[in-house]
Structure formats: structure tokens, C-alpha cells
Amino acid sequence: MKNNLHRIKSVRAERNMVYMIDQVLLPWEFKICKTERYLETCKAIKTMIVRGAGTIGATAGFAMWQAVYEAPEKNYIDFLNKAKIEIEATRPTARDLFVAVNRVYERALISRNEAEEEAHKIADENAEAGKKIGEFGNNLIKDGDRILTHCNAGHLALVDYGSALAPVYKAHSEGKNIFVYVDETRPRSQGAKLTAWELNNAGVPHAIIPDNAAAWYMSLGKIDIFITGADRIAANGDTANKIGTLGKAIAARHYKIPFYVAAPLSTFDFDIKTGKDIQIEERSQDEVLYQTGPDKKGTIRKIRVASHGSPSCNPAFDVTPKKFIKGFITEEGIKKI
């Protein structure tokens, strides 16, 4: 399959309307979800209609702008303060969310117009950073490389281009013969549903592997490089990313496979010294206990895939210590920290 569906920006806004690719419906249905009010946009972030640190950030910036648009003249500041708290509570781990909300909030104190401009600037910067990450990261990928990636850090996870997948797209477009092993990424299956959908659309050779197969493939010498995105990077380089990254980073170190984290500079949090200070989001037990997918008629169904009566734990992210990370692919080049 080769089409450009995945190249439509994951989020954009016109006046007070926010348009998002509905990532909950993918890969079965391609639909744009639109929201008019900031609380609807908060819900879209929380329920993962949009997800991925860069897209979450840009969407949160637009949500803050919607709040500015909605704020009554009389209680302007009170309204904004309340909205800021509500938007920030949607997803606590992604650094980009807090950066974006703050940037728009600060401008809203000057004027509504400035707030709107800032929200668009944040989204544009995120897309541009993805493009540059692709160019720098491409230099790390050799012809013939077999690449492992976890979760979805592609076009959908940034406003455009992606972080971990941006170098993959660039390498593929240059004619390098590459192959991508896609971790399925339980429980929300961002790899199996979103990364695989993106790579299919772009015509990049790949295969979905169960999460617990990555170390085995490394041991067989089938993986040359491991690249993921990030949700928050502490000052010392410790990196929060989708749950499951840590185990693979440890295995990669054991098998001497270079592990790179691709992220825009907006994901670095220099206010946090180490990964111990990163707040890890705990999500609903249902995400582990149930899976969704279409039945034979195409109706999306939710089915239980675990023993009845058992609870689950569902940390959305883990933190990989810096010592396991060879470098950070940013819009300003490869950084070591």
C-alpha cells in the first residue's frame, strides 16, 4: 500500500476549531475529529484521539487558545487559570503539553491575537523539528539496516514527520534498503495499529512483532539499531517513553545494539534533574483487560482478553536511564548529554 493519508497533519486549527486525526479509530477508519471548545479538546487528549508527545503538545496549545477564545471579558484571567489546570491534567507525562500550554497562556496575558499566533507557531515548530530530526537521524541509518522501534513515534505522534520514524522515512525516501521491526506495544497497541499503518502507507518494509519478541530478535543478530521517541527527558538524559522501552534498552545494551532517542528540544525538561522526578501516568485497567477491534461486519467491539475478576496495573510509561542511551536525535543534531 502507498498513499499519503498519514501525511495529513495530525492536528491543526482554524479560528477556534481544532481538527485532529482520530487515532482511536485507526487503522480501521480514517476520520478527522473536530472540537470547538477547550473542554472537548481536553477529552480528545485524555481519551487518546490524539496521542504522542508532539501532537499532545500542539493540541494542548490549541486547547489553551480555545479557552482564550471562550474566556469572557469580565473573568478573563480566572477563566484562563481554570482552563490551564484542566488542560494540564489531561496527560501528566508529556513535557510538550506543559510547554505549549504555558507559552499560549503567557501570550494570552498580552492579547487574544497573540495567543492564537503562538498556538499555531508551536504546531509549526513541532512539524519543522520532526523534519530536521529526520535529516540528522538518517545519517545514523545504513543501507541494509534492520531497525527496531517501540510505540508510535511517527507522523501521528508529532504534527508532521514524526520523531523516531522521521529518520526511517528519510532513509527510505533516499532508497536505502531498510526493514523495521515494529513492537506491537501493549496495551494500546500503538505499534501494531499506528506505526504499522503509517509504514504500510509509506511503503516501508516492516513486520509487527509481539512486545516480548524484541530481545529474541536482538539475540539472533537481526536488529542493527533501536530508535524510539520520548515523552520527557530529564536534565541528566533519563528518558520517559512508552512502557516497554526500558526492557528493550537493557536488552539492546546487552547485545551491543545502539539505542537512540529521537525528540524535539521541547521534550527536554531541564527543571527535572533525573528520571526519578518524572510523573508516570497510570491509565485505566480496562486498557489491559480489554482489546478493541472490528468484527466481521466492521463494527468496532470491545472484548475482554483477561481472566474475569482479576484487576490490572497500567503504567503508561517507563524511564530508561541515560546510561543505556547512545544519543539523542534532535532538530539541532545528535546530542550526547
Kindly state the cell numbers that stand for 285: 485497567
Residue number with the shortest CB distance to ligand MRU?
A: 229
CB 187 → ligand MRU: shortest distance, Å?
A: 10
Residue among 190, 239, 266, 320 that touches ligand MRU (CB under 6 A): 190
Q: Which is nearest to 182 in space by CA: 155, 156, 154, 219?
A: 154
Cα gap 156→17, rounded to integer Å = 19
Q: Which is nearer to ligand MRU, 107 or 248 (CB)?
A: 248
Cα gap 78→74, rounded to integer Å = 9
Q: Which is nearer to ligand MRU, 92 or 258 (CB)?
A: 92
DSSP state of 280: P
Q: Which is nearer to ligand MRU, 66 or 190 (CB)?
A: 190
Question: Phi, psi at residue 108, to the nearest 5°?
Answer: -65, -25
CB 91 → ligand MRU: shortest distance, Å?
A: 7
Residue 209 touches ligand MRU, criterion: CB under 6 A: no
Q: Is the dihedral of CA 114, 116, 119, 123 positive or negative?
A: negative
Residue 49 touches ligand MRU, criterion: CB under 6 A: no
Maximum alpha-carbon separation in the chain: 66
Residue 66 touches ligand MRU, criterion: CB under 6 A: no
Residue among 18, 104, 158, 234 that touches ligand MRU (CB under 6 A): 158
Q: Which is nearer to ligand MRU, 126 or 138 (CB)?
A: 126
Residue 53 touches ligand MRU, criterion: CB under 6 A: yes
Residue among 6, 12, 51, 248 that touches ligand MRU (CB under 6 A): 51
Residue among 13, 63, 153, 202 that touches ligand MRU (CB under 6 A): 153
Residue 239 touches ligand MRU, criterion: CB under 6 A: no
Question: Phi, psi at residue 303, to the nearest 5°?
Answer: -125, 145
Residue 26 touches ligand MRU, criterion: CB under 6 A: no
Kindly state the cell numbers that stand for 291: 482489546
**Share in percent of the chain as helix, strand, coil (round to 5):** 40, 20, 40
Residues that bind ligand MRU (rule: CB under 6 A) add up to a total of 17
Residue 331 touches ligand MRU, criterion: CB under 6 A: no
Residue among 160, 184, 231, 269 that touches ligand MRU (CB under 6 A): 231
CB 316 → ligand MRU: shortest distance, Å?
A: 5
Residue among 52, 167, 187, 327 that touches ligand MRU (CB under 6 A): 52
Cα gap 313→306, rounded to integer Å = 13
Considering only the stretches 50-58, 136-144, 167-175, 216-224, report the one whose residues sit in contact with ligand MRU under the rule CB under 6 A.
50-58
Instruction: Give 206's strand partners.
Output: 180
Question: Phi, psi at residue 85, to the nearest 5°?
Answer: -60, -45
Cα gap 140→138, rounded to integer Å = 5
Residue among 10, 66, 163, 239 that touches ligand MRU (CB under 6 A): 163
Residue among 83, 140, 171, 316 that touches ligand MRU (CB under 6 A): 316
8 Å CB contact between 274 and 323 = no
Q: Which amino acid is at 53?
A: A
Kindly state the cell numbers that stand for 221: 543478530
25 CB contacts (<8 Å, ≥6 apart)? 31, 300
Catalytic residues: 231
Q: Which residues bind ligand MRU (CB under 6 A)?
A: 51-54, 151, 153, 157-158, 163, 190, 228-231, 241-242, 316
